Amino acid sequence: MNMLSALVLLPLLAACLLPILRSRDGQNALAVATVVLVLVGLLSMAPAIVQGEPASARLPGLLGHFHFLADPFGLVFALVGTFVWLSATIYATAYLGDDPARPRFLSICLVLLAANLGVFLAADLLTLFVFFELLGLVAVLVVVHSGSEEARSAGITYFWMTLAGGIALLAAVLAVQSQAGSLAWQPLPEAVSSGWRWTIFGLMLVGFGVKAGMVPLHIWLPAAHPVAPAPASAILSGVIIKAGAYGLFRCMNMLMSASPGTSAWSQAVDMGLVLTLFGIATLVIGVVLALGQHSAKRMLAWHSVSQMGFVITGLGLGAFLAGDGAMATAGGLLHVVNHALFKSCLFLGAGAVALRTGSADMYRLGGLWRDMPVTFTCMLIAAAGITGMPLFNGFVSKCMIHHGLVEAGQREGGQVLVYAEWLYLAACAGTAASFIKFIGLIFLKRPRQPHPVRVREAHPAMLVGMLLPIIPIAWLGWRPHGLLESVFSPALAGQGISPQPITYYLEHYFLSGQDLAASVGMLGGGLVVFVAGMKFGWFTLSLPRTLGVAWWYRRMGVGMIDLCLRLARLAAAARAAVPERMQTLYRKPSWRAAGRLVRPGRSKLPRDALFEALNRQRDRLLGTADRLARRDQARYPGDALVNSSHMFAGWLGTELVRRGMVSHRGTAAEIAADETFCQKLAERAVGLARKQLDEGLETVEIQQALSELDPVLGPDRAPSDHNWPERRWPAELADMALAPDHAHWPVSESLAQGALIRAVRGRVRKVAQDLSTGLLVAFLILMLLGLFLMSQ
């Protein structure tokens, strides 16, 4: 075990230790110290790795070993992730306050950190898959942390999407293993056919795309990120979705990369184009939906979708431009780093605002710059980063991707990618509009109604959490050269991609007049969209839900469950070989019943209307009998008549309910509503009571009273645990074999008391006793034999 595996194990160990600590400060200190240790460990390894000496390690487990490898890409992802974790953990120590679930939350965060490191440092696909699944499924716990109805619903969506993505990824990994014969991150052999290449690409696109929030697999993201506690949102949006981008990057640049000129190479270029188009769709749809949000956190979540679109576009363009794609790929990777920084900061800030004011609705807030100046400054800088203001980090990566897009448009011949460029610029303007709205509504605008109590600045620990990412946001906007030239360039060169475009960008384009002009134009466009949107109410339009993919996914899921239910019903119907049962068993499974299985606990159990009606009739019968009896009460001593009437009426009522339930439903329902019949029964009950008090009753008469029920409910059918004399034994036997739940044992009940059975039982018991003694003796003999053999 060396440093690398220790880094992955350390958070897991800390997560186990954390609940043992009793004191709050101890838990906080442990969590923060663990993250700091991991960060320091990664930093200490960084110089050697950037020099081109990747570190590798392995841990025993599963089918042999987990293999880890830290190359520059994995290291950058891991470092940025851990940095965000640090700020979120520091923030969480104050944010959680006295939440009773805080040890659980901190532990889960540490487990997630370990899983995240495992994903970024995995050396083979199996290790990656294991940690990827762990990351996805453990994250359910932070999504449902609050336990609210919204969180439940988001948790369900999240779980299913993650699981479906995981299954697609597993299929992809198995396909890679069967085709390439190895699970390492290396190019697929040339011999792998194009069908398999596209299958693997498609499966990975789904598997990683779900995690990356790629349209149309993004539906879980805007649901899950806002409901999690703020530090968890920062981790989810800042780091965990990057696992998807990381996987796509590895898939495009390592599995699919091929030597130029081969057919595999042209397929990789086509895949790059497909990925680019998905990226463009993601970034446009994300921005459009973000503009329509009221809640700050939901808006940020939609922007996560959109920003992942930028990343995916960059990666796709890199693959499309193949050997010349260094700038776009590096832009995509840099955007991963940038987005992790500013999105976590934004989520933390929105969380702080929501915590202090009690609301995340942008339209209700306002004027907070005065009350929360530090938070305001942080948010301003982070918003400048995400909108791509010059001198802030988003500017660099967005420009790089844009240049890549222009170049790809020229190469592709101006069919699709020209429109893609327009959409790209429009999305940038939309982002600007969105964040003008964010800053303007929350911090600058005069509030609609003044806050009842003065809003205080956030807790210092929360401020530290927000301030930490601010430094790299500004630094990367000012000097991106270090990261681009000394980390990404050599690493991409190691993959056979010429780093020359990156150098060219930094020398000729970075902060050039052209880029600045584009940036200003985009900001102006954003301002126009914002003003027009506020004026004409564009931001409050809502789209029909059939337009969203979520609605269709749910339809599909419910449809599948419904199909399964139908199958189950059919099976039950087939088992009930008797045709008349078909109808009662094959009741049409309803959407509601299916929905109950998909989203359990939402609706109540179905109520049996017939039983309730009969029960009401029974109560009515008791009441009527009571009234009738009280009329003649004086003629008998004390309450004798009333009590006796109650007894008879209750008995008749119970019989009514019982026989109503086994008889034909229609008739029973009629009876249950028939008041004259009730009156008649009540009179009968009082009559019986009177007769009993006057002259005593015969048993026969009580039985006769029941015959009142016969004409309306039909003759009393035997309750279900007796024989059915009208049926013949083959039907009986078949029924018992096929549908035992409904069938009954016709003979044994009577035989069980018979003399024959008693005799046989006695004999069997005796034989069994003899047998057991015999076995004991046999065992002893065996043992002696064994001892004898052993002594030889």
Partner 1 sequence: MTAVSLPSLLPLWIIAVPLAGAALLAGVGRHRRLLGPVVLGTGGLCLGLVVVLVMTVRLGFQPELSLMELVPPLRFVLRADALGTLFALLIASLFPLATAYALRFMADDSRLQGFLALVLLCQALMLGVAFAASLITLLAFYELFSLISYVLIVHERSPRARAAGLKYILYIVSGGVFILTGIILVYFLAADVRFVPGGLLDSGTTHPAALVAWICFMVGFGIKAALMPLHGWVADAHPAAPTPFSALLSGIMVAAGSFGILRVVFETFGVELLGRLGVMPWLAAAAGLSALLAGALALGEDEFKRRLAYSTVSQMAYVVMAAAMLGELALVGGLVHLSHHAFIKAGLFFCAGLIVTVTGYKHVSQFDGLAQRMPATAILLTLLALAMVGVPPLSGFVSKWLLGAGLMEAGGILPLLVLLLGSLLAAAYLWPVIFRIWLPGPEPNDAASHSEQAPGLMLSMLAATAGITLLLGLAASLPGLPLELARMAAAAMIGGGG
649: Cβ–Cβ under 8 A, 6 or more apart, which residues? 621, 622, 624, 625, 626, 681, 682, 685, 686
Which 513-572 positions form the footprint of partner 1 (CB under 8 A)?
560-561, 563-565, 567-569, 571
583: Cβ–Cβ under 8 A, 6 or more apart, which residues? none
Give the strand pairing for 65-70 and 55-60: antiparallel
* Side chain identity at residue 506, one-letter code: L
- With the CA atoms of 371, 377, 380 and 384 taken in that order, what torsion angle do they form, in degrees rounded to the nearest 10? 180
**What single DSSP character describes residue 191?**
T
Whichever of 126 and 188 has its CB closer to partner 1, that residue is 126
Q: Does 789 bind partner 1 (CB under 8 A)?
A: yes
SS3 of residue 267 by DSSP: helix
Q: Does 220 bind partner 1 (CB under 8 A)?
A: no
Which 153-212 positions form the footprint of partner 1 (CB under 8 A)?
155-156, 159, 163-164, 167, 170-171, 174-175, 177-178, 199
C-alpha span between 9 and 533 (Å, rounded): 50
Whichever of 136 and 366 has its CB closer to partner 1, that residue is 136
C-alpha span between 641 and 689 (Å, rounded): 6
Q: Does 129 bind partner 1 (CB under 8 A)?
A: yes
90: Cβ–Cβ under 8 A, 6 or more apart, which residues? 32, 461, 464, 465, 468
Q: Does 150 bind partner 1 (CB under 8 A)?
A: no
Of 23-31, 497-505, 696-704, 738-746: span binding partner 1 (CB under 8 A): 738-746
SS3 of residue 587 by DSSP: coil
For the record, the structure tokens of 619 come out as 């109560």
Site for partner 1 (CB under 8 A): which residue of 370, 592, 602, 717? Answer: 602
Q: Does 584 bind partner 1 (CB under 8 A)?
A: no
Contact 80, 38 (CB under 8 A): no
Q: Does 605 bind partner 1 (CB under 8 A)?
A: yes
Whichever of 547 and 789 has its CB closer to partner 1, that residue is 789
Q: Does 21 bind partner 1 (CB under 8 A)?
A: no
CA 477, 482, 483, 489 torsion-angle sign: positive
Whichever of 373 and 740 has its CB closer to partner 1, that residue is 740
Whichever of 700 and 789 has its CB closer to partner 1, that residue is 789
Alpha carbon 790 to chain centroid distance? 62
**What single DSSP character describes residue 295?**
B
Shortest CB 169 distance to partner 1, Å = 10
Site for partner 1 (CB under 8 A): which residue of 1, 16, 532, 737? Answer: 737
Q: Does 723 bind partner 1 (CB under 8 A)?
A: no
Binding-residue total with partner 1 (CB under 8 A) = 67
For the record, the structure tokens of 25 come out as 């400060």
Whichever of 173 and 354 has its CB closer to partner 1, that residue is 173
Which 64-83 positions form the footprint of partner 1 (CB under 8 A)?
64
Of residues 316, 310, 374, 317, the one with CA closest to residue 337: 310
Contact 332, 401 (CB under 8 A): yes
Shortest CB 768 distance to partner 1, Å = 7
Q: Does 582 bind partner 1 (CB under 8 A)?
A: no
Q: Does 702 bind partner 1 (CB under 8 A)?
A: no
Whichever of 125 and 380 has its CB closer to partner 1, that residue is 125
Q: Does 764 bind partner 1 (CB under 8 A)?
A: no
SS3 of residue 582 by DSSP: helix
Of 152-160, 450-458, 619-627, 680-688: span binding partner 1 (CB under 8 A): 152-160
Whichever of 137 and 416 has its CB closer to partner 1, that residue is 137
CA angle 69, 72, 74 (to 5 degrees): 55
* Side chain identity at residue 227, one-letter code: V
Whichever of 263 and 769 has its CB closer to partner 1, that residue is 769
Shortest CB 737 distance to partner 1, Å = 5
- Measured in residues, the chain has a length of 792
Q: Does 748 bind partner 1 (CB under 8 A)?
A: yes
Site residues, partner 1 (CB under 8 A): 60-64, 126, 129-130, 133-134, 137, 144, 147, 149, 152, 155-156, 159, 163-164, 167, 170-171, 174-175, 177-178, 199, 560-561, 563-565, 567-569, 571, 575, 596-597, 600-602, 604-605, 721, 736-738, 740-741, 743-745, 748, 768-769, 772-773, 775-776, 778-779, 782, 786, 789-790
